[in-house]
C-alpha cells in the first residue's frame, strides 16, 4: 500500500468524467488499497479515484465513528434519492474550506464490490451526503459548485464542525 497524492481544486483532472471499471485487475486492487489508506491518513470520510489522478469509477467511503469500516464502490449508480438535508460539506481536494450544500437526505446506490459483485447500499444523512458527493466526483463535479453562499475557511467555523 502507498499513499497517493490528492489532487486539488484547479487541477483539470477533477473536472473530467471517469470511466467504468470493466474487470478487476491487480492495478485496480492496488488503487483501492491506496485510496483507503490515503482517505484515512487525510482524515476524510470519502475519496474518489479522480482525486488521486485516476479516471476510474471507484469510490471509497467511511463515515463510521471509528473510521474502520471502508465501503468500496465500483461503477456506482444512484437509483433513488429522497428528502433533503442542508449542512456543511468539505472535500479533501478543497483543503481548509467548507460550504453549505443541500442534498437529498436519502440515497439508494447500486455498485460493484471488489469482487465485481453487485450490491445495493442505502444511506441517510452523512452517508447519503458522502455517496452523492463522491459520485459527483466521478462525473467531474465538485461540491463548490453547489455551495449556497460563501465558501468559508474551516478554521472560522470549527465549533460548528465539532457537532
Ligand atoms: Ni470531495
State the catalytic residues: 134
- Per residue in 86-129, pLDDT (tens digit) is 999 999 999 999 999 999 999 999 999 999 999 999 999 999 99
- What's 69's DSSP letter? -
CA of 83 to the centre of ligand 1 (A): 22
- Per residue in 31-59, pLDDT (tens digit) is 999 999 999 999 999 999 999 999 999 99
Extents of the domains making up the chain: 12-83+103-141
In this prediction the pTM is 0.94
pLDDT of the residue at 161: 45
pLDDT of the residue at 123: 97
* Interatomic CA distance for residues 98 and 153, integer angstroms: 6
Neighbours of ion ligand 1 (CB under 5 A): 91
- Per residue in 149-159, pLDDT (tens digit) is 999 998 876 55
One CATH from 3.90.45.10, 3.90.25.10, 3.90.1150.10, 2.60.40.1180 for 12-83+103-141? 3.90.45.10
Using a pLDDT cut of 70, give the percent of the chain over it. 96
CA of 93 to the centre of ligand 1 (A): 6
Amino acid at each position: 500500500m502507498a499513499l497517493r497524492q490528492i489532487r486539488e481544486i484547479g487541477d483539470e483532472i477533477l473536472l473530467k468524467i471517469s470511466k467504468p471499471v470493466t474487470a478487476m485487475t491487480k492495478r485496480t486492487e492496488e488503487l483501492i488499497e491506496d485510496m483507503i489508506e490515503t482517505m484515512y491518513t487525510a482524515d476524510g470520510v470519502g475519496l474518489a479515484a479522480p482525486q488521486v489522478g485516476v479516471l476510474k469509477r471507484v469510490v471509497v467511503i467511511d463515515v463510521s465513528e471509528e473510521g474502520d469500516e471502508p465501503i468500496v464502490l465500483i461503477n456506482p449508480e444512484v437509483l433513488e434519492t429522497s428528502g433533503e438535508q442542508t449542512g456543511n460539506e468539505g472535500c479533501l481536494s478543497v483543503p481548509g474550506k467548507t460550504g453549505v450544500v443541500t442534498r437529498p437526505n436519502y440515497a439508494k446506490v447500486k455498485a460493484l464490490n471488489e469482487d465485481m459483485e453487485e450490491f445495493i447500499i442505502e444511506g441517510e444523512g452523512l452517508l447519503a451526503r458522502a455517496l452523492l458527493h463522491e459520485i459527483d466526483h466521478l462525473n467531474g463535479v465538485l461540491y463548490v459548485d453547489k455551495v449556497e453562499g460563501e465558501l468559508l475557511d474551516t478554521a472560522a467555523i470549527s465549533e460548528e464542525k465539532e457537532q
